[in-house]
Structure 1
């Protein structure tokens, strides 16, 4: 198996955190998004991990992989032109040989599903377009399936509930070389949306040619593309994962909290749903529902629903007040 990971893109929805790092290297629940994803792929024992990077953040991504996963066979190329996700995936073609199966994993989301079931799920079809049933189907591209579970159509942001099976950015193709050929044909045909090539057009061409694709559902679809959804993902991943590897003295911890080795917390109240990265120091503060990244300082602060980047310094101050009966003081 070859695993294709398109990691190009500026991550504009996550700014300012992506001004200095790739969006896949943003931290959530004690790990980078990329580490969460790759860890979930380990059981597949893939022959090669193929990264489609951009020229700005590509070196960061590959340096991270070399440090965290030195045992994996990785290859990288650069998407020089921003021509969409299907174009990005097509750049893996030189590494896909006859007989290879392919798993494509986009890095805006962390998935929760059992990938070891791929052979069983794909026994009577040619590929899997993983999906998640959602209520707000109008926001997504959805799969329309027949009574046998085969995809018969794909609709982008439907106005009516033709389907609630949103595509989650996780795709398996049994014939990887054939998939690359369909990508090339779609690009050569100029099938674009606003100047970019998207995978649904490729998949629909495959279906029209007689290939069978199914839409298995995943257990959880954890969006990491925006600050508010990153915090939601942090809450989900911290469930039943209360870990204190660093130093926490004279501190109240309200589970779940994840404090990495090398982080220091003193005279504070943390939690619930707080992750603190290595090298950070939190003192005399109250922090809840927040992510504190590496080598940052938080002192005399009250934080709620916050994301603090690397090497940041937040220092508050005590207030002196003389407040009479029946008063209301709100500081927001």
Structure 2
């Protein structure tokens, strides 16, 4: 079983429920909601289970859980948070009872899609302890990995370019318990960015245990992120061209 954890309980800096009318997952892109685009992107991955981490207000006022259940045939696990956590790593830890095991794990951003068959990457990653996808960039909004000549990760950082390998919002762990242990060790060392705990620095804890983390570089023109209205408009221009 591949558990796919999708933390969407954090605060969005580019979207506002009151101004936009609805939460970010319901933003429409080329006639479909962002959530629909996301779920479809993973449809070719077999033997999977989504675990969504949601804000209580998005469930109470907008029925986000119902929309997820419809799109995933009631096969997703939904965890509802009353309060904001201290970052994506902490949000993912809310699924600890579901992922602290020997099953493989993906932790992914909801606001992005790949013009790739993602099951092919999962098959490659399964031969290693962990893996990330990256694209060429140097902007400090991303997390980064530095690799050796065999594409194994030597170091990871958050919001700090240490290479041109920007992480494309997807993290693979061959066993969920590897992630749990790594994040707890990271938090014990208080490795954070402006008080928030992110996923990328936890990879350094795996490196300290001599685990193999593979980086696969993808074409940046086949990776689409929807973190802002401008990025959504850019994607629609490309698709409508």
* 2:23 and 2:58 in contact (8 A); partners too: yes
Q: Which residue of 2 is the match for residue 133 of structure 1? A: 136
Greater CA radius of gyration, 1 or 2? 1
* 2:126 and 2:174 in contact (8 A); partners too: no
SS class of match (1:81): coil
Q: Which residue of 1 is the match for residue 196 of structure 2? A: 196
- Tell me if 1:218 matches 2:221: no
Instruction: Give 1:113 shift.
Output: 2.4
Instruction: Give 1:185 shift.
Output: 2.8
SS class of match (2:190): coil
- In 1, the alpha carbon distance for the partners of 2:82 and 2:196 equals 13
Q: Which residue of 1 is the match for residue 96 of structure 2? A: 93
**Cα 1:158–1:82, aligned 2, differ >3 Å: closer, same or farther?**
closer
* 1:54 and 1:78 in contact (8 A); partners too: yes
Q: Which residue of 1 is the match for residue 145 of structure 2? A: 143
SS class of match (1:172): strand
In the TM superposition, 1:310-321 aligns within 5 A as none
Instruction: Give 1:177 shift.
Output: 1.9
Instruction: Give 1:42 shift.
Output: 1.5
Instruction: Give 1:69 shift.
Output: 2.9
Instruction: Give 1:79 shift.
Output: 6.0
- Tell me if 1:34 matches 2:32: no
Q: Which has the higher contact order (CA 8 A, sep 6+)?
A: 2
Instruction: Give 1:75 shift.
Output: 2.6
* 1:143 and 1:155 in contact (8 A); partners too: yes
Q: Which residue of 1 is the match for residue 46 of structure 2? A: 45
* 2:144 and 2:165 in contact (8 A); partners too: yes
- Tell me if 1:81 matches 2:84: yes
Q: Which residue of 2 is the match for residue 168 of structure 1? A: 168
**Runs (5+) with no aligned partner, structure 2:** none
Q: Which has the higher helix share?
A: 2
Instruction: Give 1:89 shift.
Output: 1.0
Q: Which residue of 2 is the match for residue 181 of structure 1? A: 181
- In 1, the alpha carbon distance for the partners of 2:160 and 2:77 equals 38
Instruction: Give 1:64 shift.
Output: 1.0
Aligned length in residues: 236
**Cα 1:21–1:171, aligned 2, differ >3 Å: closer, same or farther?**
same
* 2:158 and 2:193 in contact (8 A); partners too: no
SS class of match (1:43): coil
TM-score, normalised via structure 2 length: 0.87
Instruction: Give 1:150 shift.
Output: 0.3
- In 1, the alpha carbon distance for the partners of 2:49 and 2:8 equals 16
Instruction: Give 1:15 shift.
Output: 3.3
- In 2, the alpha carbon distance for the partners of 1:203 and 1:56 equals 32
**Runs (5+) with no aligned partner, structure 1:** 239-255, 257-272, 274-332
- Tell me if 1:105 matches 2:108: yes
How big is the alpha-carbon RMSD for the aligned residues of Structure 1 and Structure 2? 2.3
